[in-house]
Structure 1
Amino acid sequence: MKGYSLAYRLGFTPWEHHGRVTRAHVDPLLAREETGRSRPLGRALDLGCGRGQHSARLARRGWEVVGVDVVPRAVDDARRRRISGATFVVGDVTDLAPSELGTFDLFLDVGCFQGLNPEQRLAEGRGVSALANPGATLLMLAFGATPIRSVIGGVSRAEIEGALDGWEMLSVDAADTTGLGWPLTRTSPRWYRLRLAA
C-alpha cells in the first residue's frame, strides 16, 4: 500500500496507461454485464479505484458508481475530476463497511486483489460478499501466479475462488497485454467473472 502512495506522489502510475490502451477490450466485458438490465443499471463499486479511470467509464455507461481507494491523493484527484454519477471515498478494500457504502450490483477490481496478501484477500472477499445484492457480479483483472508474482503481484484461480466463498466462477478469459511492456507481458493476466450464488 505504501508503494502505491509513493507512486502517486512521484506521478508513476503505469496501470493508468494500460487502462487507456485497453479500453476497447474492457467495454465488451461491461456490455455483457449490462445485457438484460433495465435503466438505471444499478450500483457499481470500483475496488482500488485510483484516480477514477474505470469509475468514469462505468458512470458514462449508466452505473451509479462508488470508487474506493486507500491512497488519499488518488481519491482527491478522482474527486477533482467531478465525474457525474460517481463518488469517491478513502477506504481499505480489506475493511469494507456496508453501513457506509451500501450494497452493489457490480464490483470491478482491476489489479487490486492481486496485490493483497492471503489474509487481506479473504477480508476483501468477505467485504464484497457483505455488500453484494442478490445476483451481483464481480469482474476482476489479475495477473497469474507466475514466477515474478513476488515483484508485481498475481493470483491463481484457486486463490480467487478461495477468497470468494459463495460466488460462482462464470468465466475466465485471457486479458489483452497490449501496452503492458516487458516483464508484465509475461504475467498471464486474466479477466475473472463471478456471480454471487443464490
Structure 2
Amino acid sequence: MADYVRTYRFGMTPREAYGEAAGDSIAAMLDRAEADRRRPPAPDPEGPEGPAGDGTGRRTLGRALDLGCGRGEFTPLLAARGWQAVGIDGVPASVEAARRRGNAGVSYVAGDVTDLASARLGTFDLFFDVGCFHGLDARRRHAVGQGVTTLARPGAVLLMLAYGPSQFRTMVGGASREEVEEAFPRWELRAIDPADTTGLGWPMNRTKPRWYRLRLKP
C-alpha cells in the first residue's frame, strides 16, 4: 500500500502536478461521466434546496465526492463545473491545506475512505478518484467499494484514475481491471480509457494509467 502520509510529509504531490498539466484531458473525462448519468439527481436529504440548487440560487448537477482529495487539487474543479463538492482524505494535514485554499462551495472532511459510513457524508451522484484506490491493498479496496456503493444514489457514476499493475507497484500503487471490478460488483464498467501521462513524471508515467468509468446498476 502506498504511504500517503509519508508522501505528503516530504512534499511529494504528483497528483497536483498532474492536475495542472493534464487539465484538458481530465475535463474531457468528466464531460463523459456527466453525460453517462442515468437520471437527474435524487432529492437532496442534506438540505431543503434539493438537487437543483446549493442555497445560493445556482443550479447544481448534484453531489460529488472527491475520494482521497489530498490538498484540494480537484475538488474545486468539481464545484466549478456545478457540483456540490465534498473532498475526503485520511491525511489531516492535507485536508487543512485544502481548507486554507478557501474555495467557495467546497467542503472537506478528514476521514477514512475505507470507512465512509462513519464520516456521515450523505449520498452522492458522482464519485471522483485520482490516485486513491490504486494505492490500497485488496481488503481496503473492497472496503472503498462497499462504502461508495452505500453512499451512491440511483444512477450514480464513478470516475477513477488508476495506475496499472507494474514493477513499480510497491512504490506508487496500481490496480488491474479485474481488481476494480471485484471491488465494485454492483457497478457496470462503462469505459476504460488511457490516461494522459503529461505531468505525472517517473515512474507513474510508466504504469499505463487508465480512467475507469462505472455506473451503479439499477
Q: Does 1:111 align with 2:131?
A: yes
Q: Which residue of 1 aligns with 2:214?
A: 194
Residues 151 and 99 of structure 1, relative CA distance in 2, 3 Å threshold: closer
Deviations 1:35-92, CA, capped at 9 Å, x for gaps: 3867410000000000111101001111001100000000001111121121000000
Asked if 2 retains the 8 angstrom alpha-carbon contact of 1:8 and 1:74, the reply is: yes
Of residues 39-48 and 92-101 in structure 1, the stretch that sits farther from structure 2 once superposed is: 92-101
SS in 1 for 2:115: coil
Q: Which residue of 2 aligns with 1:140?
A: 160
Asked if 2 retains the 8 angstrom alpha-carbon contact of 1:45 and 1:107, the reply is: yes
Q: Which residue of 1 aligns with 2:31?
A: 31
Q: Report the Cα offset of residue 150 of structure 1.
A: 2.2
Q: Does 1:121 align with 2:141?
A: yes
Q: Which residue of 1 aligns with 2:99?
A: 79
Asked if 1 retains the 8 angstrom alpha-carbon contact of 2:155 and 2:217, the reply is: yes
Q: Report the Cα offset of residue 97 of structure 1.
A: 1.2
Q: Which residue of 2 aligns with 1:20?
A: 20
Distance 1:107 1:2 in 2: 21
Asked if 1 retains the 8 angstrom alpha-carbon contact of 2:2 and 2:172, the reply is: no
Deviations 1:109-154, CA, capped at 9 Å, x for gaps: 1110000000000000000000000000000000111222122110
Asked if 1 retains the 8 angstrom alpha-carbon contact of 2:84 and 2:106, the reply is: yes
**2:199 alignment partner AA:** G
Match of 2:114 among 94, 98, 114: 94
**2:11 alignment partner AA:** G
Whichever structure has more helix as a proportion of its residues is 1
Match of 2:67 among 18, 36, 47: 47
Asked if 1 retains the 8 angstrom alpha-carbon contact of 2:66 and 2:86, the reply is: yes
Q: Which residue of 2 aligns with 1:3?
A: 3
Unpaired stretches in structure 1, ≥5 consecutive residues? none
Which has the higher relative contact order, 1 or 2, with Cα contacts under 8 A spaced 6 or more apart? Answer: 2
Q: Let me know the Cα RMSD of the aligned residues.
A: 1.7
Identity %: 55
SS in 1 for 2:108: strand
**2:68 alignment partner AA:** G
Unpaired stretches in structure 2, ≥5 consecutive residues? 41-51, 53-58
Asked if 2 retains the 8 angstrom alpha-carbon contact of 1:98 and 1:131, the reply is: no
**2:21 alignment partner AA:** V
SS in 1 for 2:200: coil
* Normalised TM-score (structure 2): 0.86
Corresponding pairs, count: 198
Q: Report the Cα offset of residue 98 of structure 1.
A: 6.9
Residues 59 and 127 of structure 1, relative CA distance in 2, 3 Å threshold: same
* Normalised TM-score (structure 1): 0.94
